Amino acid sequence: MTRLAAAILVVLLPLPLLLSAVVGAAAFPRGGGFGFEATLRHVDADAGYTKAELLARAVSRSRARAATLQSLAALAPGDAITAVRILVRASDGEYLMDMGIGTPPRYYSAILDTGSDLIWTQCAPCLLCVDQPTPYYDPTQSPTYRAIGCSSPVCNALYYPLCFQKVCVYQYFYGDSASTAGVLANETFTFGTNATRVTVPSISFGCGNLNAGSLANGSGMVGFGRGSLSLVSQLGSPRFSYCLTSFLSKVPSRLYFGAYATLNSTNASTSGPVQSTPFVVNPALPTMYFLNLTGISVGGVLLPIDPAVFAINDTDGTGGTIIDSGTTITYLAEPAYGAVRAAFVSQIKLPLLNVTDASVLDTCFKWPPPPRQSLTLPQVVFHFDGADMELPLPNYMLVEPMSGGLCLAMATSSDGSIIGNFQHQNFHVLYDLENSLLSFVPAPCNLI
């Protein structure tokens, strides 16, 4: 056993909740017509930030999360401690989802993360916890709480399961030195708004007694990845969708799960029909949502980018293109970003601004333009396998608060590409795991 694992077990030793009985999962009619709607709240909503501050904070989080996702290339195959490092920044998610835990339900806001699997919250007694807006969940106050045994398949689904006195103990490390460790347990969860509220028994989650980092105004995380411990997998209705309003808007976003996740009535735009592209499985990172990005057009011109720039490296699983709700701006592999930047520089008739080396956004133009000068901005289209995502202007250009420049909301990546949530705001985006498809359509997300 490693020193780290031993230390966690020693600290957890006094916790009476480790002695909880282990019971089997209760039956529940998941799948089929099961589903709910939920509200997504941006992590900085109602915090009193100016629009400039909101943008600066979102760009900063985006830079940190992208750096973490790019470090996935450093994973060492066969190293159990390294493999458990789910390199997704707990402190840099973008949207919070409310859920009730226990009987009776006590409500918490958790960071929704399409890049990880585990559902977890901070639990009392808390030996090491970080600030959160609600009291810590206390398992002794809920009769439906049950610790999970070491021999359970759920325990074995952890990247690095640990066992103490026949109880399954988990530990997750995140890329910003944040971490959570505690007991893996089953509990009754409640999801959805009043009109669609559902209560589901025997959801497996992490009850964290040792936690470090920051939770960005939340009280835990809820993983929507492709692994067996994610909420999507556990509820057995493998489809969800979201419609994200601008993070500068006070209108919340919406999440639809199961039977409610449909794009049939959301297209209030004349931009075109629903489009779909297949997910690509990366064996090295099976929980993440990879897509086959084949090219990019700027101003109606398909850029000379080798499709291999967007492909997954078959040898080590690096590269590829991820769609990620927790990253704000889009990061493109360096050759692709260089081509996009060159196209903008040649097509936009404004002087470039000098930016510092530390700036995330480095394709910025002097704004506003001189008086009486008309300005045409080039259209941007992401070409996927079987689908074209034509970005509205607000989805790829912004006024950067520090320089006041008109900036391309994209940046360069040292490894792989990430399609951020800024680029798919005001799209209704459907993740259909059963058919392994991502579908999307322009939609007025503030109205649906």
Predicted confidence (pLDDT) per residue in 225-260, tens digit: 999 999 999 999 899 999 999 877 788 999 999 999
CB neighbours of 148 closer than 8 A, spacing ≥ 6?
22, 154, 155, 167, 168, 183, 184, 185, 186, 204
Domain that holds residue 69: 29-258
Q: Which of 342, 317, 324 is nearest to 224 (CA)?
A: 324
435 and 330 co-located in one domain: yes
The question of whether 324 is a catalytic residue gets the answer yes
The pLDDT of 399-418, averaged and rounded, is: 85
pLDDT attached to residue 66? 59
Give φ, ψ of 173 to 5 degrees. -115, 135
| Cβ neighbours of 131 (radius 10 Å) | 9
pLDDT of residue 446 exceeding 80: yes
Q: Which of 410, 382, 320 is nearest to 69 (CA)?
A: 320
Confidence of residue 372 (pLDDT cuts 50, 70, 90): low
- Residue 310 and residue 333: Cα distance in Å, rounded? 7
Q: Does the residue 265 lie in any domain?
A: no
- Residue 302 and residue 382: Cα distance in Å, rounded? 10
pLDDT top residue among 75 and 321: 321
Confidence of residue 85 (pLDDT cuts 50, 70, 90): very low
Q: Does the residue 212 lie in any domain?
A: yes
pLDDT attached to residue 63? 62
DSSP 130-199: ---SSPPB-GGG-TT-EEPBTTSHHHHTSSS-EEETTEEEEEEE-TTS-EEEEEEEEEEEEES-GGG-EE
Structure tokens of 41?
Answer: 């709240």
* CB-based burial label for 27 (10 Å; 0-12, 13-18, 19+): exposed
Q: Which of 134, 236, 246, 253 is nearest to 193 (CA)?
A: 253
- Residue 222 and residue 326: Cα distance in Å, rounded? 12
Among 44, 92, 98, 113, the active-site one is 113
Q: How many domains does the chain fold into? A: 2
| Cβ neighbours of 55 (radius 10 Å) | 23
pLDDT attached to residue 76? 38
Cis bond upstream, residue 252 (ω within 30): no
Structure tokens of 169?
Answer: 């103990």
Q: Which of 256, 339, 337 is nearest to 302 (CA)?
A: 339
* β-strand pairing of 35-42 with 162-164: unpaired
Question: For residue 24, which amino acid is it?
Answer: G
312 and 345 co-located in one domain: yes
Say which CATH number the domain at 164 has: 2.40.70.10
- Residue 223 and residue 214: Cα distance in Å, rounded? 16
pLDDT attached to residue 178? 63
Examine the fold and report which residue of 223, 258, 293 is the final residue of a domain before the chain moves on.
Answer: 258
Cis bond upstream, residue 104 (ω within 30): yes
Examine the fold and report which residue of 233, 258, 283 is the final residue of a domain before the chain moves on.
Answer: 258
Q: Does the residue 447 lie in any domain?
A: no
Among 92, 324, 362, 415, the active-site one is 324
236 and 306 co-located in one domain: no
292 and 325 co-located in one domain: yes
| Cβ neighbours of 302 (radius 10 Å) | 12
82 and 127 co-located in one domain: yes
Structure tokens of 199?
Answer: 């209560």
pLDDT attached to residue 318? 86
pLDDT tens for 107-119 read 999 989 888 889 9
Q: Does the residue 6 lie in any domain?
A: no
242 and 300 co-located in one domain: no
3-class DSSP assignment, residue 129? coil
pLDDT attached to residue 127? 86
Q: Does the residue 15 lie in any domain?
A: no
Q: Does the residue 337 lie in any domain?
A: yes
284 and 387 co-located in one domain: yes
pLDDT tens for 194-204 read 889 999 999 99
234 and 289 co-located in one domain: no
251 and 279 co-located in one domain: no
pLDDT tens for 127-174 read 888 888 899 999 999 999 999 999 999 999 987 789 999 999 998 876
Chain centroid to Cα 364, Å, comes to 27
Confidence of residue 414 (pLDDT cuts 50, 70, 90): confident
The question of whether 388 is a catalytic residue gets the answer no
33 and 63 co-located in one domain: yes
Q: Does the residue 268 lie in any domain?
A: no
95 and 193 co-located in one domain: yes
Q: Does the residue 7 lie in any domain?
A: no
- Residue 138 and residue 16: Cα distance in Å, rounded? 12
Under a CB-based contact definition with an 8 Å cutoff, are residues 290 and 322 in contact? yes
83 and 124 co-located in one domain: yes
